Amino acid sequence: MKLPHAWSKPTPLFDDERLVSCAGLVPVMALAEQAGLTELITERVKVASNRVASAGANPAGKVTSIIAGMAASADSIDDLDVIRSGGMKRLFTEVYAPATLGQFLREFTHGHTSQLASVARAHLVNLVERTELLAGIETQAYVDIDSLLRPVYGHAKQGASFGHTKISGKQVLRKGLSPLATTISTRHSAPVVAGIRLRAGKAGSGKSAASMVRDAVKTARQAGARGPILVRGDSAYGTGPVVNACLRAGVQFSFVLAKNPAVVRAIATIPAEAWRPVTYPGAFTDPDTGELISDAEVAEVEFTAFASTEHPVTARLVVRRVRDQTRLEELFPVWRHHPFFTNSDEPTLEADLTHRRHAVIETVFADLIDGPLAHMPSGRFASNCAWALCAMIAHNLLRAADSLDPAQPAVARGATLRRQIVHVPARLARPQRRPVLHLPAHWPWANRWLAIWAGVFGHANAPPQPA
């Protein structure tokens, strides 16, 4: 591409009041309203202003402004100004300035964040009813739980402290805040956020996990999960309180167990003939013997966990062993064992494959880090809690909009959805006082955009077809 010579000295002017930089917010925010977002916030969130009399006024308009800004790639309070450019105020009402929104967030307390959390869960349930967001949830649902550490800097971040995290596979100590999140997914849909709770950076990964699991299971059932629900997590959540919370909720569990003498003794009792090769991507069959060549094998044994506590649990200990590639010169194979504890009724090999899909929660974390949770924008802990909850609503909203396109599987990354669906420039016109959005000709994702528009407004109100 080259710039014509006549444009060697162009004159840029930021003066057009009818240009819209994020026309995709129209169907996205309309879908949020159809799922009752404004009504839920008005009904459940009551912010009493302690500093400025008007700071807590109209929480519905301010929260939806924050969510719209996040859907348009805002990752800080100042970035929320993106919703006020050009003709955005002609498309939307109750569009607030970043200073007003920051002042509103600073009014939040722990009680207000609990109110907003209930809004986020109820809105997710409404989105599932309105769209195909969790297709197949009535047959099988998966609840995953995990945490991450978001780094912060300076001395003004309330609640920030040093905690352990992994960077390039190495454990490092880093100052930050630690969100704990739960997700819901199915065999046919990408995961959505069922709950998110902000904690101090030094908080243990399993802190508050039992209550988060209970809330996520309740949300899954409200969203239509009539069949089995499987809760998955790593070793930080393979604890007595979390496992017993799953049993009391009547759901299945699959958690990694930390190595201890009891687990090691149980693994040693597995007979040699019980090990079976597991089919991972890349495994192949030996043409001479017909055996599966794989670097992993799986077996199981009955095991009683938490035997020294008041609530021991007896279930299956499924163990995956992998040949230690650093000790191949040994006379006998040296194996590394990876056990997890489950009460699912799947066969051993299928249970192992299902448990490994717990890593799907990392795709949600990647979306959040690449979007609203790139920063913790406020110095107040409760404000950052509210920011994380708004990020949850924005993430689920984009996922729901993506599911309205029947021609595409709803598995796109959040950054992809923002680039293809939200960041569509448009010119706003009003012939006969009827708003019309003139979108770019030959937009590469025009058909997808129109499918989402039709899913929200119906075919009768769809804009002109692309050229």
The string of DSSP letters for 400-449 reads HHHTT-TTS-S---HHHHIIIII---EEEE-GGG--EEEPPTT-TTHHHH
Q: Are residues 328 and 418 in the same domain?
A: no
pLDDT band at 467 (very low <50, low <70, confident <90, very high): very low
pLDDT band at 156 (very low <50, low <70, confident <90, very high): confident
Give domain status of residue 5, yes or no.
Answer: no
Total structural domains within the chain: 2
Most confident of 51-65, 176-190, 327-341: 176-190
pLDDT band at 464 (very low <50, low <70, confident <90, very high): very low
Whether residue 287 is predicted with pLDDT greater than 60 in this model: the reply is: no
Position 171 scores a pLDDT of 80
pLDDT tens digits for 218-251? 999 999 999 999 999 999 999 999 999 999 999 9
Position 90 scores a pLDDT of 86
Position 329 scores a pLDDT of 60
Whether residue 310 is predicted with pLDDT greater than 50 in this model: the reply is: yes
Q: Are residues 121 and 45 in the same domain?
A: yes
Contact 244, 213 (CB under 8 A): no
Q: Tell me which of 164-178, 187-201, 440-454 is least confident.
A: 164-178
User: 342, 366, 391 — which closes off a domain?
Assistant: 342
Q: Are residues 321 and 386 in the same domain?
A: no
Q: For residue 405, report the phi and psi dihedrals to the nearest 5 degrees.
A: -90, 105
| Phi-psi sector, 416: left (phi>0), alpha (psi -120 to 50), beta | alpha
Give domain status of residue 113, yes or no.
Answer: yes
Q: Are residues 310 and 413 in the same domain?
A: no
* pLDDT above 90 as % of the chain: 67
Range(s) of the domain holding residue 302: 254-342
Whether residue 9 is predicted with pLDDT greater than 80 in this model: the reply is: no
Give domain status of residue 438, yes or no.
Answer: yes
Altogether, the residues listed in the chain come to a count of: 467
pTM of the model as a whole: 0.91
Q: Are residues 27 and 127 in the same domain?
A: yes
Once rounded to an integer, what is the mean pLDDT over residues 58-81?
95
Once rounded to an integer, what is the mean pLDDT over residues 438-462?
85
Once rounded to an integer, what is the mean pLDDT over residues 288-303?
76
Give domain status of residue 51, yes or no.
Answer: yes
Once rounded to an integer, what is the mean pLDDT over residues 170-183?
90
Mean pLDDT value across the chain: 89
Position 73 scores a pLDDT of 92
User: 342, 371, 387 — which closes off a domain?
Assistant: 342
pLDDT band at 409 (very low <50, low <70, confident <90, very high): confident
pLDDT band at 367 (very low <50, low <70, confident <90, very high): very high
Q: Are residues 317 and 416 in the same domain?
A: no
Once rounded to an integer, what is the mean pLDDT over residues 25-29?
95
Report how many helices (DSSP H) and strands (DSSP E) the chain contains, helices first: 14, 16
Q: Are residues 26 and 118 in the same domain?
A: yes
Give domain status of residue 177, yes or no.
Answer: no
Position 286 scores a pLDDT of 53
Position 284 scores a pLDDT of 57
Position 55 scores a pLDDT of 83
Give domain status of residue 228, yes or no.
Answer: no
Whether residue 12 is predicted with pLDDT greater than 60 in this model: the reply is: yes
Q: Are residues 326 and 389 in the same domain?
A: no
Tell me which DSSP letter residue 144 carries: E
Contact 321, 338 (CB under 8 A): yes
pLDDT band at 390 (very low <50, low <70, confident <90, very high): very high
User: 289, 320, 342 — which closes off a domain?
Assistant: 342
Give domain status of residue 221, yes or no.
Answer: no
Give domain status of residue 239, yes or no.
Answer: no
Termini Cα distance of the chain: 22
Q: Are residues 385 and 324 in the same domain?
A: no
Position 407 scores a pLDDT of 81
pLDDT band at 465 (very low <50, low <70, confident <90, very high): very low
Of residues 395, 384, 458, the one with CA closest to residue 422 = 395
Q: Outline where DSSP puts E strands in 140-234.
A: 141-147, 150-151, 161-167, 170-186, 189-200, 229-233
Q: Are residues 118 and 31 in the same domain?
A: yes
- Cβ atoms within 10 Å, residue 338: 19
Q: Are residues 19 and 126 in the same domain?
A: yes
Q: For residue 3, report the phi and psi dihedrals to the nearest 5 degrees.
A: -85, 125
Of residues 383, 370, 421, 377, the one with CA closest to residue 80 = 377
Q: Are residues 22 and 115 in the same domain?
A: yes
Position 431 scores a pLDDT of 85
β-strand 170-186 against 141-147: which pairing, if any? antiparallel
